[in-house]
Structures are given as structure tokens and as C-alpha cells.
Structure 1
Amino acid sequence: MTLDFTKMHGLGNDFVVIDGVSVCVWLEHDVLNRLADRHRGVGCDQILLIEPAEGEGDFRYRIFNADGAEVEQCGNGARCVARFVRDRGLTDADRISFETLGGMIHTQLMPDGRVAVDMGVPRFEPAEIPFDAPARAERYPLEAGGTEWEIGAVSMGNPHAVLRVDDVAAAPVTELGPVIEHHSRFPRRVNAGFMQVIDRDRILLRVWERGAGETAACGTGACGAVAVGRLWGLLDASVTVALPGGELVIDWAGADNPLWMTGAAETAFYGTLAR
């Protein structure tokens, strides 16, 4: 048996995208591992499986990390699946909605080729992240790696811990990232974002993603960082987030308004995996 796939990326955050709409697809754990393996398989940060909608969405899409774990949300992936279903002729719409484990998301294909995604309203209540804290706060102390750090915590459909750093290039992402990811106060693990504020409309960001390690770009991480930066009073309503792989524009008016993310989605190549 064989499995057709499309390799895509959003600012270097790369995905194997699979059409489960035209053909019924079941991804066993060993197949997920082979797809993600950069030496013995295709290689990717995450595998994205698009399926028929089960509710009110146009499609359903499922997200599997490189370690095989299914997760709730992926911002860069959302842009890629929107581009995928349009390019593959699965829809001719410019506005496309997707059901995910993290809730419904809405996408808009832009005339310049970029994709905008309504990422929903950031959630700061500890129980909704989830995060072990006695009450909601703007900042939390977190002991990690023998040091007490100050973090912001937010859910963008998946959990994020955000740290402000003076120099993102020198930030201990690879050392501290996995410690925060597996911290006992985050029962479902967490993505760790290291944010350097350049101005009120620009930040630099590196993200350690749970189950994937540091990636070239993390869409929900960019959203989470801006949400926390706005909560802390550091950022304006429209912010350019510069990640190692490129830039995203995040717009959030605050309060109960949805947060929008806009950026590129690119197809790298097509392939077939022998199963």
C-alpha cells in the first residue's frame, strides 16, 4: 500500500499534509513516525490530516506532532491546510472553516497569496490552558532549571508559556524549553515562547514546541506571545512577529475580540510513502 502526501511549510515550520477527504486514511503510530523522521522518512515538524467535517465546519483537520501525539491546534498548519484544500480543488471558497481538537477556526485566502486565520479569543484562565495556579494573574513565577522565571500563560487552543528575554538569540531555548514543556504545572505539557520586545509593533520570538522541539516558526506561539505582550501593556493592536523562519502579522484588539494571524503558506513538493 502507498500513502500520497504533500510537503508544505509556513515560514519553515514544515508539515506533511494528507488528503483524508478524497480517500479514507488511518495513520498508525509507526506511519506517523516514518513520516516525521528526517533521516528515514519524509521529515516534518507535524503531520496534518484533513478529513470530512463532522459538524459545522467545511473540513476537519487533525494535527500530529513529530512524536506521534495528537494535539489541539497549529497556526502555521491552519494556513497550510487552507491553501491545500483550495489548491487540490476540494473547495473553491476563499473563506474556509476547519474543525480541530482546539475548536473551530476560520481562514481567509488573501489576494497576495497569504492566508489569514481567525485564531479565536486568547484564554487566560488557568483551568482553560491548563495550568496549575490558584488564580488568574498577568504574570506567574515558575521554577525551572534551578531558577525562578516570570512567565505569562495563555491558551490559543493549545497551551503556551511566554518568557520575556533581553536577547532572543542568546536565550536558553534548547536548555530551558524542554524543562518548561514537561513542567508539572502544565498537565498537558506546554509550548515555551522566548520573546524579545523591539518596539510596540515588533517582537522577535523563538519557540520550543511540545513534541517537536524548537521550530523555525510557530503560529500559535506568535499569537500567544502577542496576547501576553498585550496583557502586559507592552504591545499595540497590530504586531509583526519575526521568527527564525520569517514574519507573521498578528492583530488583536484585546478583550473578547478574536485574534487574527496572517502569513505565508507554501507547497514544497508532492510524494508517495510506501507503507
Structure 2
Amino acid sequence: MRPMTSQRDPQMLPFMKMHGLGNDFVVVDSRAAQLEITTAMARGIAHRRFGLGFDQLAIISNARPDSDADAHLTFYNADGSTSAACGNATRCIARHLIDETGKTALHLTTDRGDLRAQEAGHGLTAVNMGPPQLDWNEIPLAEEMDTLELPIEGGPTATGMGNPHCTFFVEDADVIPLEEFGPRYEHHPLYPQRTNVQIAHLVGPDHLRMRVWERGVGITLASGSSSCATAVAAARKGLTGRKVRIDLDGGTLWIDWREDGVWMTGETMHVASGSFTRQFLESLGQ
């Protein structure tokens, strides 16, 4: 990871380690000096033995000069690929910026578009992940079809939340071998950009249990965009209303599909702050 200016010594390049319900992130603040990120660098930092480890790497940058946004966020998966959206990372960064600025509401930009975040009280942070993408070409799928029930065994629902999702509703999500099930559908030919895979079952009225396989990552303890997609799919299928509780392996998120977008509320954790060493950065070719 190489600063494009000389304002930072790479020996002291700082990072924050955060998680949202066990969905963990390395966050680098590049507002003071623009950073150049490569696939190899993202993979190196993501390695849980030779690097630091993360589900996603998130970069905080300055918003465009013509924007009134508080910051711009960029996301990388553990395999080095990029993602336009990452709900839990957005919540974690929003909490950091709320604490930093004293604001109770934020305007953030991402490749997904403009997102709003706000203080939700009791240590919770809420983010509006924007309207769901329900048309086949927006998700995107490989060909035109009804996104409510795909021509795949189990009739999953396709949803876009700035990244593609494939949601299966089953009798018991906990008995599905996700380590086999997830990669089978991540690379399904209907999804040209691969997909996140969710399996969920109804616990009670407006209450779901969900497990997640993230594209480019694997099994995760939680996923914000997957939770939003699952809530939207459940409401479209008439399984729930538009405001639901979702229990994940790492904890609980509350999703509210409103007219202005899909709001996600939950806990965040700033675990530690540190700096990448020169030796480590040089091992990545920097």
C-alpha cells in the first residue's frame, strides 16, 4: 500500500480493525493522502496468517469537491475484488465518523451511490443502503427473467443492493452445509458478476434466521447488504412485512424497507488501531 504523496511514512501507515457482528474489516483512512490499492495488496492484508485478516478492506477518502458528502468509501473483498457496497463496514465507519465529528447524521458516497447514516441511540448505528435493485439487468442477471423466483432448484430470489444476492428460504438454515452450498451458487451462470448467497428461515412474525456466503470471501458471521437483500426478498414473497429482525451467526440486525431505501440498524465494534510496518508493505511489493 503506497501513499501517492510523501505526507505519510509507509512505516507508519495507520489502520483500524473493526467488525459489525463478527463481519470484520480493515479500515484505512486516506483522507490526508490518497492511497493506491492493488489486488495483490488487498489479498496480502486479507490473509489471516501472513497478513491482518478481513472480510472486507474499506478505504475512507475525501468526497468529491462538488459534493457535500462527509466522505467517500471504497470496498475490497478478501480475494482482492471490489464491491460497490458493504453495509456493515459502512455502519462501522459511520460510527467512527459520528464519534469523530460529533454529528448525528452523515452523508456518505460509495460506488453504490449516496448513502445516509445516523445515530440510532443505545450504541446502535443506522445506514440507509438505498432502494433495492429488483430488475434482472440491475442486479445483474445473465438474461431477462422474474427475479422473485429464479429457475434454480429451491426457487431463490435475486436482489441487488449495489452487489448481487441470491436468497434461499428453507425449513432450517442451520442444517444446510453452507461451505458446499455457498460456492455452488456464487458461481452460478445466471450471475455474471458472481453473487452473495443467503439461506434463511422464518423464526416468527417478522423474524428471520439467516446465514451468509459472501462472494470473494466465503462464510461470514454477518453481512449487512445480505441482510437487506433477504429482508426485501422475504417481504416480496409475503413471508414478512417490510420491517424485520434478522438473527445472524454474529448477532442481530434490524432491517426496515422504507420508501427512501432499506435501513439497517445494529451494533459496531472498533477493536484496535495500529500501523502497517515497512517490512510488511515491502513484502507486498510496496
Query: What TM-score bracket applies, with the shorter chain setting the length?
Result: over 0.9
Structure 1: unaligned runs, 5 residues or longer: 143-147
Alignment counterpart, residue 63 of structure 1, candidates 69, 72, 75 = 75
Match of 1:183 in 2: 188
CA distance in 2, matches of 1:259, 1:196: 20
| 1:140 Cα deviation from its structure 2 partner | 1.4
CA contact (8 A) 1:124 1:136 kept: no
What is the TM-score normalised by the length of structure 1?
Answer: 0.93
Match of 1:272 in 2: 275
Alignment of 1:64-213 (within 5 A): 64-87=76-99, 89=100, 91-142=101-152, 148-213=153-218
CA distance in 2, matches of 1:7, 1:42: 9
CA contact (8 A) 1:249 1:263 kept: yes
CA distance in 2, matches of 1:183, 1:56: 40
| 1:182 Cα deviation from its structure 2 partner | 1.0
| 1:138 Cα deviation from its structure 2 partner | 2.0
| 1:33 Cα deviation from its structure 2 partner | 1.8
Match of 2:266 in 1: 263
Match of 2:55 in 1: 45
Match of 1:145 in 2: none
CA distance in 2, matches of 1:154, 1:74: 15
SS at match of 1:207: strand
CA distance in 2, matches of 1:34, 1:140: 36
Alignment counterpart, residue 249 of structure 2, candidates 234, 244, 247 = 244
Cα distance, 1:23–1:240 mapped onto 2, change above 3 Å: same
CA contact (8 A) 1:49 1:61 kept: yes
Structure 2: unaligned runs, 5 residues or longer: 1-9, 282-286
Paired-residue identity, %? 36
SS at match of 2:189: coil
Pairwise CA RMSD: 1.4
Match of 2:7 in 1: none
SS at match of 1:85: helix
CA contact (8 A) 2:98 2:106 kept: no
| 1:137 Cα deviation from its structure 2 partner | 4.2
Runs of 4+ in 1 over 4 A off after TM superposition: none
Cα distance, 1:56–1:125 mapped onto 2, change above 3 Å: farther
SS at match of 1:128: coil
SS at match of 1:252: strand
| 1:157 Cα deviation from its structure 2 partner | 1.3
